[in-house]
Amino acid sequence: MNCLICGSIFQSPPTWRKLFIYEIEPTACNRCLSKFENSNPEIDFTDFKGTHYEGAVESVKTLYSYNEAMKSYLHQYKFLQDVALAQVFAEEVRHAFEAGEGTVVPIPMHPERLLQRTFGQVDELLNYAGISFKQLLAKTATSEQGKKTKKERLQASPLFEVKEKIEAQNYILFDDIYTTGTTIHHAAKVLKEAGAKRVDAITLIKG
């Protein structure tokens, strides 16, 4: 098969593990995959202490750091609309949810942005990983959060609203990238206010 990142031909070697445990076949070669780096698991919530968002999210798990390889991947995936690249990290995303319990909720795009990009990049990552999810949130803000300072993001009006009834149970938010953490905390706070018992989060990248 051809690597979805560099286009070179590669073959996934057979392993004993594949005989006993289901694994999603790799869609990128080892040379490309070796360029991605695992993220530092520690998440600093200091900036949220003393704010309305303190305690909104119990934990955040991130998979990869935002290095040059990941920056190039994300640009090609999101902005050049190479939807097939959602397959590259399917196995890693699937594995990340194995230990968690709760309804998976993807961070949504604003309808106008979704129309421009033609696909939801977060949804596709979950689809290829075989993770069931519910679209429980709608994004209400159209402004680019990446262009705001962290203080401006924290002081902004809620970025999301709930679309249907939220049960008193656990929820797991999923997004493509965690930078300041404001988006995750905004979403978690809305779910908590609507009745969620616990909110955790997983992201593919830690910026």
Which residues of the chain does CATH 3.40.50 include? 36-206
**Pairing state between β 160-162 and 170-178:** unpaired
Hey, is 196 helix, strand or coil? Answer: coil
pLDDT, residue 125, reads 98
Whole-number Å distance between alpha carbons of 73 and 87: 12
pLDDT exceeds cutoff 60 at 26: yes
pLDDT, residue 184, reads 96
The end-to-end CA distance of the chain, in Å, is: 31
Mean local confidence (pLDDT), 171-198: 96
At the topology level, CATH places domain 36-206 in Rossmann fold (3.40.50)
Kindly report the CA angle at 68 between 63 and 74, in degrees rounded to 5? 65
Instruction: Quickly state the pLDDT bin for 129 (edges 50, 70, 90).
Output: very high
pLDDT exceeds cutoff 70 at 146: no
117 vs 160 pLDDT, higher one: 160
pLDDT digits (tens, 9 = 90+) for 65-121: 999 999 999 999 999 999 999 999 999 999 999 988 999 999 999 999 888 888 999
